[in-house]
Structure 1
Amino acid sequence: MSMKDHFTFSDLFAGVGGFHAALHSLGGRWQFASEIDAEAAAVYDYNWLRPLREAEPDDEARRRYRVSGDIVELTEPVVKVPRSDVLTAGFPCQPFSKSGFQRGMAETRGTLFWNIARILQCEEKRPAVVMLENVRNLAGPRHRETFATIVATLRELGYRTSSRPAVFSPHLLPSASGGRPQARERVFILAHFVGRDRAEHPSAFDDPVVSPAAFANTWSKHDWDLSQHLPLEPEESVEQRYFLESAERKWLDTWDRILHAVARRLHPGERMPGFPIWADDFRSVEDARALIRDAEALGRPLPAWKQGFLLKNAQFYERHADVLDPFRFELDAFPASRRKLEWQAGPHRPLEETVIQLRPSGIRCKLPSYAPALVAINQTSIVGGRRRLTPREAARLQGLPEDFQFRHTLPDGGWAEQRDAASYKQMGNGVNVGVARFVFARYVEQHADEIREHAANVVHAVSRGAASS
């Protein structure tokens, strides 16, 4: 293989290697990785660096294949990250996530973008192409200034980049292009070096490299079938620890019976309630209105959305009180969040035919076409009404190869299986391989002429890798 058939990449905030898998499949060769989480770094090492070490003939060469740690120590006061053709970074999302405080760059972790910028400003370390990834909220209204700052900084450092990010989810990408049945919108910021004058010229302010609208006429998110396209493991091969506990089964069984009883009373063409059902607010409409008035009189008015849900639940209760009341005793024994249910699965069907999440906001039921986004906290989707997705199935949702393992390399050269909690967390924090691969390849293709000026090998390798897939 000639040198132009591959390119080098550095993998910052590497997690367990989603970017590594994507770029390796396009002809990328690992140059450097950093990850501060020790368990994620150990999984990265086992899957990606251990094979490289084993292929080296001598001990000195093997020692370079390791995952480095804190990016701050690697960039301050001097940059210790080696030069590579491509730099990827799924920099921490918590400062921008809706599940956090959304402080953006006002929070310490938000400033880690500046550590990426320190690498880009070093002429001798400067990569030709940069690919950053973060949560959808980074491009939302609360972080408009933050996103603009990132774009302006990249241009000041000589990188051409769009004023708008590529926002993409694996469930909006056809299976043949690397899509997976998971709703997971993420922001991708891509840039390539052209020099400051060209980067800041208005003609360089192009649109995002790709958007889901490109597939509107050929692909629909409703074409997914989770059991078929993931695929799910046969139930008999799934270990017992992934099946629901008795209390969890009780919650779902009770709600299944409630929904069945309500569905039998619906008029032809009438749908199940689309609003959250709150068992604690099963009361008359008159009582609901009194509650709203009392809150107003006390100077603590309820927000409009809550008033609406209270009245909808009251109307729902009044209509179905005779079938709901027999379940009150069972529901009262549940934890508060399990007395709430969000039905997002269209016409009524048994809960075992939906994808379920046990969320802090309640039990959510969705169509079994595609899964909700994997998250780093304990909301792993339940399938078949009986069990959670396994770590292997979560890895498939993220597009990782079948031979990917949740294992740690041991000092003696052996390995150990990782605890499930860490595996789920890593999948929730990870980048989707198929989306990263697709967006990167499309970006290089569309900007091939300019990228070729500084890294012709990237263009050649990506073109070769994309054509062979």
Structure 2
Amino acid sequence: MTPPAFRFIDLFAGIGGFHAALKAMGGECVYAVEIDPLARKVYESNWGHSALGANDRGDITLDADADRGVMEVPEHDVLCAGFPCQPFSKSGAQRGMDEARGTLFFNIASIIKARHPLIVILENVRNLIGPKHQHEWDVIIETLQDEGYHVSNQAAVFSPHLLPPHLGGVPQVRERVFITATLAPDLVARDIEFGGPGPVATMTDRFPSAEGATGLFDPKKDWHLEGLLDDSHNIPGCDLTDAETHWINAWEEFVQIMRPLMNDRHLPGHPIWADAWLDFPEMKRIDWQARKIRVPRRVSRPVVDSDLPDWKQSHLRKNHDMFARHFAAIIPWAHRWGIYSEAFPASRRKLEWQAQETKSLWHTVMHFRPSGIRAKKATYLPALVAITQTSIVGPRERRLSPRETARLQGLPDSFIFPGQSAAATYKQMGNGVNVGAVWHIFRAHVDRDANILRRTARGRAIVAAVEKAPLRPNEILAKHQPAHS
């Protein structure tokens, strides 16, 4: 058996997105920890590796705590962590590891301080670099620098939809922050002075459309969902309810009514609020429960409250403009479908059309959101989330299946979720890290810091593994066999 090119640990492991990428790259997992028992079961069933850590709870705080002198994590070359980010203390003037105390990052820092792996890769939601978390960001970077790591003070923000298929991309907009660092104490002083190296990836990165091609892949035009989706319209648990079908059919008719009235142009980009039309006094006089109604000959434009936020005033005026021009068609449509009845909750009386020239609502990808029914072109999908906003694929007239969401995260069809509900799988996919994105970030980081890594035998082994690896992990992962079902 070929010895592993490097050893890695998998913290807050979930179902193993990091594991999938780094194992395919030639690494061996020597420690994994995940506190959620359902995710842990999926991890262990697929990878044949315990995700309990060194305790019986999957609790990293029991295995790594510098304050208590606890270190149960073995030596390793690469540390991976898709960690939760809690607010750090801002009391006093202390910075770095001391301020992370009481958070899960403190336990990561405890491992780094004790083991000093060659490479650290941290992943988090984009909000980590938002203004509300500047303090947390500074603490993380300064902690890494204090421990001798060559790290950029700029975030590497990346999404797998930017990568073309030949590089392991998938049609999912999933912007995530990656912090990548290489052990190089001699470079830290210069990094602190000049800001460190550039980030290994950005949202403006573009790639060849195919291997050896001169043209660039355009994520807005070149993605298509058909290769991801199963052909079936009937997948158990993914069908729409009668109410959901009614809401879509109603707004579909609205789209077809409005297109010729707007000279076959696409619907406006502003949110369409049916409740805003009730501001017209003529609408208030209609008995919406009657079998027949009379459409007024003219309507009186309402006044928008100037005390409302500017954005809301703007949306209201645009909705009033639309209604004033097309009320003769809108009113019969609203009555016919019962828009102002109990059949339509307030959030379903709103349409957010972001599908440009798409001809039909049933040709889009939809989300039922508190802000309304959002419709997008059926090219790439918004990020999977760990709540109930599973994408509705109009051409299939159903929701994405759990298997399709796994494909969106770069997992092979042989990956199993033994004995668990679809809801649990959706949650795990929403919380997971995309395999293709990890593959790209790890490769880009090793390429950037190759000269530093080549200083040691362990580092040279990592560089060699990356250099001989394929451009994407898909064919390697296609050979995946679950450890046990």
- Structure 1 counterpart SS, 2:173: coil
Q: Which amino acid aligns with 1:87?
A: L
**In the TM superposition, what is the alpha-carbon distance from 1:318 to its structure 2 partner?**
1.0
What per-residue deviation string (whole Å, max 9, x for no partner) do you get for residues 348-406 of structure 1?
Answer: 51111100111121100000010111000100101125100001000000101221111
**In the TM superposition, what is the alpha-carbon distance from 1:153 to its structure 2 partner?**
1.2
Are 2:396 and 1:400 equivalent residues in the alignment? no
Q: Which amino acid aligns with 1:436?
A: V
Are 2:260 and 1:264 equivalent residues in the alignment? yes
Are 2:201 and 1:210 equivalent residues in the alignment? yes
Question: What 5-or-longer segments of structure 1 have no aligned partner?
Answer: 54-61, 97-104, 294-300, 408-416
Q: 2:347 aligns with which of 334, 337, 343?
A: 337
Q: 1:290 aligns with which of 303, 310, 319?
A: 303
1:127 aligned residue: 117
Asked if 1 retains the 8 angstrom alpha-carbon contact of 2:35 and 2:52, the reply is no
Q: Which amino acid aligns with 2:417?
A: F
- Structure 2 counterpart SS, 1:357: strand
1:16 aligned residue: 15
Matches within 5 A, 1:147-162: 147-162=137-152
- Structure 2 counterpart SS, 1:211: coil
Supply the distance in 1 between the matched residues of 2:236 and 2:48 (Cα, whole angstroms). Answer: 32
Matches within 5 A, 1:55-94: 69-76=58-65, 77=68, 78-92=70-84
User: Kindly tell me: are residues 26 and 65 of structure 1, through their superposed partners in 2, closer, same or farther at Cα, counting changes over 3 Å?
Assistant: farther
Supply the distance in 1 between the matched residues of 2:85 and 2:56 (Cα, whole angstroms). Answer: 21
**In the TM superposition, what is the alpha-carbon distance from 1:42 to its structure 2 partner?**
0.7
Supply the distance in 2 between the matched residues of 1:375 and 1:93 (Cα, whole angstroms). Answer: 17
User: Kindly tell me: are residues 353 and 95 of structure 1, through their superposed partners in 2, closer, same or farther at Cα, counting changes over 3 Å?
Assistant: farther
**In the TM superposition, what is the alpha-carbon distance from 1:239 to its structure 2 partner?**
2.1
User: Kindly tell me: are residues 345 and 468 of structure 1, through their superposed partners in 2, closer, same or farther at Cα, counting changes over 3 Å?
Assistant: closer
Matches within 5 A, 1:295-374: 301-329=307-335, 330-332=338-340, 333=342, 334-374=344-384
TM-score by length of 2: 0.82
1:200 aligned residue: 189
Q: Which amino acid aligns with 2:334?
A: R
Q: Which has the higher helix share?
A: 1
The worse-fitting range, judged by mean Cα deviation, of 270-279 and 184-193 is: 270-279
Supply the distance in 1 between the matched residues of 2:221 and 2:466 (Cα, whole angstroms). Answer: 29
Supply the distance in 1 between the matched residues of 2:243 and 2:100 (Cα, whole angstroms). Answer: 40
1:445 aligned residue: 447
Aligned length: 427
Q: Which amino acid aligns with 1:235?
A: S
Are 2:437 and 1:427 equivalent residues in the alignment? no
Supply the distance in 2 between the matched residues of 1:262 and 1:278 (Cα, whole angstroms). Answer: 15
Asked if 1 retains the 8 angstrom alpha-carbon contact of 2:168 and 2:471, the reply is no
1:384 aligned residue: 394
What per-residue deviation string (whole Å, max 9, x for no partner) do you get for residues 189-243 of structure 1?
Answer: 0001112x422323671111133434166111123443334x210125x423211
Are 2:131 and 1:141 equivalent residues in the alignment? yes
User: Kindly tell me: are residues 287 and 309 of structure 1, through their superposed partners in 2, closer, same or farther at Cα, counting changes over 3 Å?
Assistant: farther
**In the TM superposition, what is the alpha-carbon distance from 1:72 to its structure 2 partner?**
1.5
Over the aligned positions, Cα root-mean-square deviation in angstroms equals: 2.8
**In the TM superposition, what is the alpha-carbon distance from 1:259 to its structure 2 partner?**
1.3
Q: Which amino acid aligns with 1:366?
A: K
Supply the distance in 2 between the matched residues of 1:281 and 1:63 (Cα, whole angstroms). Answer: 53
- Structure 1 counterpart SS, 2:177: strand
Supply the distance in 2 between the matched residues of 1:157 and 1:68 (Cα, whole angstroms). Answer: 29
User: Kindly tell me: are residues 266 and 290 of structure 1, through their superposed partners in 2, closer, same or farther at Cα, counting changes over 3 Å?
Assistant: closer
User: Kindly tell me: are residues 397 and 452 of structure 1, through their superposed partners in 2, closer, same or farther at Cα, counting changes over 3 Å?
Assistant: same
User: Kindly tell me: are residues 110 and 241 of structure 1, through their superposed partners in 2, closer, same or farther at Cα, counting changes over 3 Å?
Assistant: farther
User: Kindly tell me: are residues 376 and 468 of structure 1, through their superposed partners in 2, closer, same or farther at Cα, counting changes over 3 Å?
Assistant: closer
Are 2:243 and 1:247 equivalent residues in the alignment? yes
Supply the distance in 2 between the matched residues of 1:309 and 1:212 (Cα, whole angstroms). Answer: 29
**In the TM superposition, what is the alpha-carbon distance from 1:463 to its structure 2 partner?**
2.1
Asked if 2 retains the 8 angstrom alpha-carbon contact of 1:32 and 1:67, the reply is no
User: Kindly tell me: are residues 303 and 134 of structure 1, through their superposed partners in 2, closer, same or farther at Cα, counting changes over 3 Å?
Assistant: same
Q: Rg: which structure is higher?
A: 2
Q: Which amino acid aligns with 1:220?
A: D
- Structure 2 counterpart SS, 1:226: coil
**In the TM superposition, what is the alpha-carbon distance from 1:263 to its structure 2 partner?**
1.0
Supply the distance in 2 between the matched residues of 1:380 and 1:171 (Cα, whole angstroms). Answer: 18
What per-residue deviation string (whole Å, max 9, x for no partner) do you get for residues 88-108 of structure 1?
Answer: 000115869xxxxxxxx9x99
What per-residue deviation string (whole Å, max 9, x for no partner) do you get for residues 152-189 of structure 1?
Answer: 11111111101112111111111111110001111110
Asked if 2 retains the 8 angstrom alpha-carbon contact of 1:352 and 1:384, the reply is yes
Asked if 2 retains the 8 angstrom alpha-carbon contact of 1:400 and 1:433, the reply is yes
Are 2:170 and 1:180 equivalent residues in the alignment? yes
User: Kindly tell me: are residues 360 and 24 of structure 1, through their superposed partners in 2, closer, same or farther at Cα, counting changes over 3 Å?
Assistant: same
TM-score by length of 1: 0.85
The worse-fitting range, judged by mean Cα deviation, of 372-381 and 280-289 is: 280-289
- Structure 2 counterpart SS, 1:273: coil
1:29 aligned residue: 28
Are 2:469 and 1:461 equivalent residues in the alignment? no
Question: What 5-or-longer segments of structure 2 have no aligned partner?
Answer: 89-96, 208-214, 282-298, 474-485
What per-residue deviation string (whole Å, max 9, x for no partner) do you get for residues 124-173 of structure 1?
Answer: x2211110001112122332232122111111111110111211111111
User: Kindly tell me: are residues 292 and 164 of structure 1, through their superposed partners in 2, closer, same or farther at Cα, counting changes over 3 Å?
Assistant: same
Aligned-residue identity in percent: 44
